[in-house]
Amino acid sequence: MLSSGKNVQPAVLEDSIRTHPAIQDSVVVGEGRHFVSALVALDDAMLPSWLDAHHLPSMTMEEAAKDSRVRELVSRAVAAANSHVSRAESIREFRILPSSFSEAREEMTASLKVRRDNILAHYADVVDEIYAGPVKA
């Protein structure tokens, strides 16, 4: 629930974002916040072919997370997800993480379900940075 009292169902957004071929998964953030954001993990196995298909050079996960061209392409997946929800429920800001979610780091279960609390704890600095900046419309 956002600080405004608006209840947001993250599954609608996360399921939509997850359909992108280069994205492993995402975690929607917004509990007690003024707007909705997302942490996006690229798919390490799919990234090379996806970059090639988009005529982008080979890059590591860390490089892809910072690359403006990758961000622009991922932003299309976020925009598509936003088309399924109201403006108040839409993702206003997102960050591409420098690595995929991992079972070894207890970010995913053995059945590949996201462990939201662990991811939010591991990337608390990223979440704090999202909400420290100016709010995007």
- Quick: pLDDT tens for 82-104: 999 999 899 999 999 999 999 99
Note the pLDDT of residue 9. 83
Q: What is the mean pLDDT of the chain?
A: 91
Average pLDDT over residues 55-80: 95
- Please return the burial class of 79, using the count of CB atoms within 10 Å of its CB with bins 0-12, 13-18 and 19+: exposed
Is residue 16 over pLDDT 90?
yes
Note the pLDDT of residue 43. 94
Going along the chain from its start, the domains and CATH numbers come out as 10-132 (3.30.300.30)
- Residue 27 pairs in a beta bridge with 39
Residue 116 carries which side chain, given as an amino acid letter? R
Note the pLDDT of residue 8. 79
Name the more confident of 136 and 69.
69
Name the more confident of 123 and 1.
123
Q: Confirm if 17 and 23 have CB atoms less than 8 A apart.
A: yes
Note the pLDDT of residue 99. 93
